[in-house]
Structure formats: structure tokens, C-alpha cells
Structure 1
Amino acid sequence: MASRSEDRCEIAFFDLETTMPTRTDQDLTILEFGSILVCPKKLVELDNYSTLVRPADPSVINSLPDRRNGITRAALIDAPFFQDIADKVYDILHGRIWAGHNILQFDCVLIRQAFAQIGRPAPEPKDTIDSLEFLKQQFGTKAGNMKMASLATYFGLGQQTHRSLDDVRMNLEVLKCCAAVLFLESSLPNIFKKNSWEFLQPDEVSIPSIRPTLLMLDNGSLRIKLLHKDETLQLCCRHMELLFGINEEYFDLTGRLDIVCFASQNLCEVLDACDGVAQKLSMDSGSSSEWQPAVIRREGFYTVRLHIQHATEIYQKEPSGAEQRIFFTEFDASELSTLFKPRTFIDAFFSLEPYDCQYQQMAGIKSVAKKLILLSN
């Protein structure tokens, strides 16, 4: 690779493989460095470099389990120390745009630590592109948890090998695929809107137009889908008040992230109608499971349970009216419980997904939150 400091316009995609953190020792040791230089105009690979890195502490190698990806104790013993490749790594990274998946919280931190450990100044980027943060903001959560393996599976790019150079190339291909989808969504918005983010408020739903249909899944089983005027029925409910937020004890027992909101009369009528047609089709299809109503009727008030999953997009609405996307480090009950508390008001966008847990003899309609907006009370 060129060592000139001028004209360093290439994007340096890079990735590190490291030891796995443990509860007793959170220090990570670099085991492999891989990078490619990419033309920013054509997004093509110009050059590449990768190497295993021998840990300075011999006990790290001795305690390292051999991995299926080929990073073995024997291979690491013959690898160079980080100080032996420091000049190369510095030349690749310094003064260029750094790019990678989750590099701001992981790879960038470890690179700076590695240079500090050998008493040398760390390379500095011209700018950084963290594809994890970028794709969360621009691509939403279409591919689930947005990890590289999930993104690669979503786009049919194969399995992640967890080798630095392979992962860097996969990262580049994922970005190209996401860019193509975003371009199409902006160019052909009506096509992507249909059956995707088209939500109806309860008073926009025509009860007689609700009907169920049976879908055949890949495993041969049948699943009920609810339609409204031949389109997937999804609901939007504004200014819903929470009765119960995230319960950490309940989550520990069930592993489910649920909130319970007060339901308006219009919403109750829609959900009751959905229950009626879906339950009838379920029974006609031979199910003997006990039907769980979507509306929870308590003393003098009605509620509905909303299920939060990793793909749920969560926003905070500012007093100015702007919506700020909230990102999570773990997306677990402890983080969500600080946001979803009783008497909180939300705008909820959710799908209606009939289910039949035959082993539990339970069936019903699950309200799955697609997007939740926390309102300023």
C-alpha cells in the first residue's frame, strides 16, 4: 500500500478479531487485523492487507480455545506481535476515512489502546463511517438486530466467517446492498409503502372489510393473516396512555418485553372484530386451543398488550415536534423500563399477528409494536 500522506482519499475499511470477553476479565486482545482500501467514487477494492497478531501475553494464547475459523494457538505463535505491524497499520489508517461495522465503540477504541500499549501515537482518521450507526438511522431495522451476520443473511451474502478480511469485504457488500434499497425506496416510494408502513387509525377501519386469510409457511404449517380491503391490517393509535410499563421481574420469567396501554372504544371495536373472524377461521381449521382476547377487560376499563421486539423502532418526540430515534446498547428490560413507565403517553404503530401455541393450547392475536413514539407529557 502507498505510504504517501498526500491524496489519501481512499476509504479504509478495517476489522479486528479479538479474544472473547469474560465476566472476570473484560480486556480484549487483538488477534487479527484486516483492511481494504476502497475507492470512494466507485466503491471498488484497491488494495488489502491482513495478518494474525500474536498477543504479547503468552497466557492469552495458552487459554485461547481453537476456533473453527482457523485462528488457532499454533497459528498465533507464528504470527507477528502488534509492534511488528504497527508501521503498516499506521500507514493504512492515518489520514484516511475509517469505515467498518460498530467501529466507533469497538475497533477504533482497540486500535488506539494497542498503540498506547507499545508507547506510540495512534493513527487518526480524516473521518469515520460506522456502518452500524449509519444503517440504524437510514435502513431502520429491516434486518433484525443489524449485526453483520444478520445483514449478510438478509441480503443473501452467505455466512460470516469472523475473519477480518472476509468480514471487511462483507461489510462493503452489505453497504452496497443497503444503498441500493435506500435509492429504490426514495425513487419508488409508493411501491415500498404498500403493505409496509401503511397504518390505519381505528376510526379509519371499516369493520365489515376485515377478513382473515390462511398463509402457508415454508415448513408447511398454516398461519392466519388479517386483511382490511385486501391489504394487511396494521393499526396506528395516537396518544395511548400506559397502564403498565416494562416489568423486569416479568421479563425474567417470560423473556417477553410487553407494555399494557389503555384502549379506546374505537380500538376495542376493531380488535373485537378481528378476534371474531380470526377465532372462527382458527376453529374451522381444526384448532382446539383456547382463544385469548386481544382486548383485556378489567374493572371499568379496557387495555391492550403491545409486544416490543428488537426490530421495534423507538423515538422520543421533542416539544418542538421533532422525533429523535433512540438507540440502545443492549435493548433489554433494564434499558426499556426507564422509558416505558405508567402514565407515559405514546403513539403506537403495530401489526396484528394471530398465533396458535398448540403446545400451550393457547391462541389469539398478538399486537406487535413496529414503531413507538414517546410523547412529552
Structure 2
Amino acid sequence: MVSTADRSEIAFFDLETTIPTRPGQSYAILEFGSILVCPKKLIELESYNTLVRPHDLSFLSPNFVRANGITADAVVSAPTFSEIADRVYDILNGRVWAGHNILRFDCVRLREAYAQINRPPPEPKGTIDSLALLTQRFGRRAGDMKMATLAAYFGLGRQSHRSLDDVRMNFEVVKHCATVLFLVISQVFSIIISLFYIQFHSNILLIQESANPVEQIPIPVESVYLPPESIPSNEAMVEDSSSTTLSDAFNKQSEFITSTEISRPSITVSVAPFLHGSQRIQILHRDIPLQIRCDAMRIRFGLSTKFLDHAGRPRLSFVVDLNSSDLCDLLDACDNIAKRFVDSDSNHEWRPVVSRKPGFYDSPTIRLHLRTIAGDSSGWMTEIYHKQSSSSSSSSSSLSAQQLVYSNYDVIELDALFRPGSFVDAYFSLDPYNYPQNAGIRLVAKKLIVHY
């Protein structure tokens, strides 16, 4: 007999159950399906699948037919759970368990089933819940992260809601997600190398300029990557002209300009191929990522904590009134340009960057998003400053403002700062996104100066 310590295979499994229709009614297992996977080669080694007759046949009505095709007649003639309990125990006990939403559903139902027959349940060596794992690591690229949505995202067909088919689909989804994350990590390494290349050659250029100010040697660049924080977003990598030096391109990435300084004919969109036919979109102004400064914007609604990031922390944003018709027209123009690059045959809902609700808002509004540190560290990447309202002018805001430092995610403290009716000078970038259900442009605040 193989000891549990030697059971290195990963057991992907899935249960199909009845759905309680009255208070106090429990779930009943109707089907169990599993595959054993080699963790080194990521191949299926063996499979097991069976329908299960519930211990209480009252769960099944004469006309009972599940949407997945499991009929009452098929279930009635199937073995009971007590008859398959030994086989299920042998498959699962001492192995790593894997499945989609198994921690909240399948594992609970399995323990209930063993308790009903007075048997100890199998115990896992570890668990891999692909719903929790992919939500944390893969993000919201695939919408609601349901198995059907993930399968559609990767072109794996429709979910059948049959145990063995769903298990195999789950396995394929995990492999596809792992491939995407591997490629993203590869891009991050490329970015780090590029930034080292930029810094190294910029230093050489500075030395050459100091040694011989007459003879300057510009360093051409094929392409310049954005900083690493842009990777989790939908920002595209920027292709610069060959006449731009690396040091120039690096410095220009930090420029913020007002709407009156922007030439509309100079706004372009850079589109780079991404994964599985998708594209990364970057809005440029004169071949530089467009970043905008707008002063004295009135806060309409304070911080929103409705949405969470991959680590379960709130994604903070707030709404401001658009106090400039030029900026309003500019953002509309950027909307129209970016929208053309979304597949025309897709089911995306385009969400305009400028919100207009007649009869409710007395002016157009935009939503500004705060940036947070990528990964598991706590902290805000958006620079936040406090400025007395009596300061001479908004143009000198950065000189008279005091930077605030937040070492953790104290939403209450920040919420008190962003009071409706107060004013803020905003420095923000345009971050196009393209998800299966919706697309649009997200305005990401790099720096905020809050008036008080």
C-alpha cells in the first residue's frame, strides 16, 4: 500500500449536487468526477466518474431533470455514496486537492456526505482552490472568474456542468492561466532589464556630456517599456521613434500637461499584440504617453470601496466635477479614438470616461482611481498632498503643499481627506482596459493635491 506521504499526484475533483428547495433541506451528491494529475509533467494519469443515488429519494421528483442532463432515472439506478465512499477516499486521501470553489462548496459537501454514513472523511495534503488562486493571481482579466467565463475567455468551449468534463476544463483553465502569468512575469523581467539599460546608458551619456559638452552622442532606442507598475493594468508598451534618446524618452514619461497644451491631431493610439489575440492600448500625445494635469477640481463623491483588488483590498476611487469644457471634449475624443480598437464583434459594454446623467448631476463628472502598491505590500502609490486653500495660486500647488504619507490601507483616514465639496489638483494618466464584459478608459491618479 502506498503511503500518503508518497502520493504526489494532484487530485482535481468536482461534485454535482441537488439544490435545496426548502428551508432545512440539505444538498445531495448526484455525481463525483476526478482526475489524477502528475505535478511534474502536468498530464492526466487516470480518471474516475460516477453518478450517485442520494440517500433520500424524496430529493428527486418524477419530473426531475437537471440542466446538465442528469435525469432522475439515471440517478436512481446509480450506486449510493456509501458504495463509492472507499473509492473516493482512496482517490483523495493524502493528496493535494484541486478544483474550482472547492473550499466553500465541494469540500463541505464531501464532509457532509461522509458524516451521513458515519465515516471519517479523506484529508488533503494541501488544497488548490482555483477560484481563490486565480482571482488573486490572475486578476479580473476574465470577468466574474466563473468556470464558464474562464473557459470562454480561453476558447475552451462551453461548460457542461458534468463532473468529469468540468474537472478536465478546470485543469485546462489552470494551465492556460499559468501560461499567461508566466508570460507576464517574462515581460516584467524584460522591463526591469530595459530600465537597467536605460539607467546604464543614461549614466554613460551624462559622463560623455560632462567630459565633452560639444560632442554629445545620442543613443537611439527601438522601444521603451513603461515602468513595471503598468503591467497589471492594460497600458501598452510604448514604441518611441528612433531619433529619441533613451534619456529623453525616460524623462518625458513623467510629463503632465493641461488640456489647453494638448494638440488634438497629435493624439494617437499605440496598439501592441498581447495574449490570445488581445491587444494592449496606450493613448499617446506626440508619441509620449498622455498624462494630464487639471487644477481645482471639485470633489462630487468621496472615496468608493465597492471593488476589491487581487488581494482583497479595496480599489479606491472618487468622483470629481469636470470644470473645464476643453478637458471634457479632450476626454471624449480619447474615448472615441480608443473605442475604435475594441473588437466590433465583441460583447463589450463601452463605459464612457465622462459621466453625464441629466437631472442628477449638474455637470459632467469623471472618476479618479488611486494607485496601490503591486503585490502583497500595503501602501499607496498615488502621491497625496495637503494644501491650504489660501495659497496664492494652483499653479504653485506643489511648492506650498505638504505631502502626506500613509504606511497602510487606512481607508477611514483617507476618506476624511476626500470630502465632497472640497477641491483637488489632479495629475493623472489614461489607462485603457478591455475586459470580456466591459471596456473603457480608467483615469489613474499619479499625484493629488487636496485643498483644505
The two structures have a TM-score, normalised by structure 2, of: 0.55
Distance of 2:186 and 2:156 partners within structure 1: 24
Distance of 2:81 and 2:53 partners within structure 1: 7
| Structure-to-structure mapping, 1:114-153, within 5 angstroms | 114-153=113-152
Q: Give the CA deviation at 1:294.
A: 2.5
Q: Deviations over 1:203-257 (max 9, x none)?
A: 35762256478x9xxxxxxxxx9942368868899x9966157799xxxxxxxxx
Q: State which of 256, 261, 264 in structure 2 corresponds to 1:203.
A: 256
| Structure-to-structure mapping, 1:37-76, within 5 angstroms | 37-62=36-61, 65-76=64-75
Distance of 2:38 and 2:298 partners within structure 1: 49
Q: Is 1:304 the equivalent of 2:366?
A: yes
Q: Give the CA deviation at 1:123.
A: 0.9
Note if contact 2:317-2:368 (Cα within 8 Å) is conserved in structure 1: yes
Change (3 A) 1:85 1:232: farther
Q: State which of 238, 250, 275 in structure 1 corresponds to 2:332.
A: 275
Counterpart amino acid of residue 180 in structure 2: V
Distance of 2:444 and 2:361 partners within structure 1: 29
Q: Give the CA deviation at 1:182.
A: 1.0
Change (3 A) 1:300 1:99: closer
Note if contact 1:306-1:369 (Cα within 8 Å) is conserved in structure 2: yes
Change (3 A) 1:323 1:185: farther
Change (3 A) 1:233 1:26: farther
Counterpart amino acid of residue 8 in structure 1: R
Change (3 A) 1:138 1:302: same
| Structure-to-structure mapping, 1:319-334, within 5 angstroms | 321=407
| Structure-to-structure mapping, 1:234-273, within 5 angstroms | 243=301, 261-262=319-320, 270-273=327-330
**Higher Rg:** 2
Counterpart amino acid of residue 275 in structure 1: D
Equivalent residue number for residue 357 of structure 1: none
Equivalent residue number for residue 172 of structure 1: 171
Q: Give the CA deviation at 1:201.
A: 8.4
Q: Deviations over 1:6-48 (max 9, x none)?
A: 5111111100111134474663221111111111111111111
Q: Give the CA deviation at 1:68.
A: 4.5
Note if contact 1:143-1:150 (Cα within 8 Å) is conserved in structure 2: yes
Counterpart amino acid of residue 110 in structure 1: R
Q: Give the CA deviation at 1:185.
A: 1.1
Equivalent residue number for residue 356 of structure 1: none
| Structure-to-structure mapping, 1:94-133, within 5 angstroms | 94-133=93-132
Counterpart amino acid of residue 145 in structure 2: M
Counterpart amino acid of residue 79 in structure 2: P
Q: Deviations over 1:165-215 (max 9, x none)?
A: 1111111111111111111111123589498236988935762256478x9
Counterpart amino acid of residue 262 in structure 1: V
Note if contact 1:259-1:305 (Cα within 8 Å) is conserved in structure 2: yes
Change (3 A) 1:178 1:88: same
Note if contact 2:9-2:39 (Cα within 8 Å) is conserved in structure 1: yes
Structure 1 stretch displaced more, 56-65 or 17-26: 17-26
Q: Give the CA deviation at 1:148.
A: 0.8
Distance of 2:111 and 2:353 partners within structure 1: 55
Distance of 1:36 and 1:134 partners within structure 2: 19
Counterpart amino acid of residue 92 in structure 1: I
Q: Is 1:294 the equivalent of 2:354?
A: yes
Counterpart amino acid of residue 151 in structure 1: L
- Residue 158 of structure 1 aligns to a residue whose secondary structure is coil
Equivalent residue number for residue 391 of structure 2: none
- Residue 35 of structure 2 aligns to a residue whose secondary structure is strand
Larger relative CO (CA 8 A, sep 6+): 1 or 2? 1
Counterpart amino acid of residue 208 in structure 1: S
- Residue 85 of structure 1 aligns to a residue whose secondary structure is helix
Counterpart amino acid of residue 185 in structure 2: S
Note if contact 1:236-1:349 (Cα within 8 Å) is conserved in structure 2: no
Q: Is 1:35 the equivalent of 2:34?
A: yes
Structure 1 stretch displaced more, 191-200 or 269-278: 191-200
- Residue 62 of structure 1 aligns to a residue whose secondary structure is coil
Counterpart amino acid of residue 354 in structure 2: A
Identity %: 44
- Residue 87 of structure 1 aligns to a residue whose secondary structure is helix
Distance of 2:16 and 2:441 partners within structure 1: 40
Q: Deviations over 1:53-72 (max 9, x none)?
A: 11111111117731353311
Q: Give the CA deviation at 1:98.
A: 0.5
Change (3 A) 1:125 1:233: farther
Change (3 A) 1:262 1:97: same
- Residue 203 of structure 1 aligns to a residue whose secondary structure is coil
Unaligned runs of 5+ in 2: 192-224, 238-252, 272-280, 307-315, 340-351, 370-376, 381-404, 420-425, 434-438, 447-452
| CA RMSD after TM alignment | 5.0
Distance of 2:165 and 2:102 partners within structure 1: 16
- Residue 60 of structure 2 aligns to a residue whose secondary structure is helix
Counterpart amino acid of residue 146 in structure 2: K
Equivalent residue number for residue 228 of structure 1: 284
The two structures have a TM-score, normalised by structure 1, of: 0.64
- Residue 50 of structure 1 aligns to a residue whose secondary structure is strand
Equivalent residue number for residue 80 of structure 1: 79
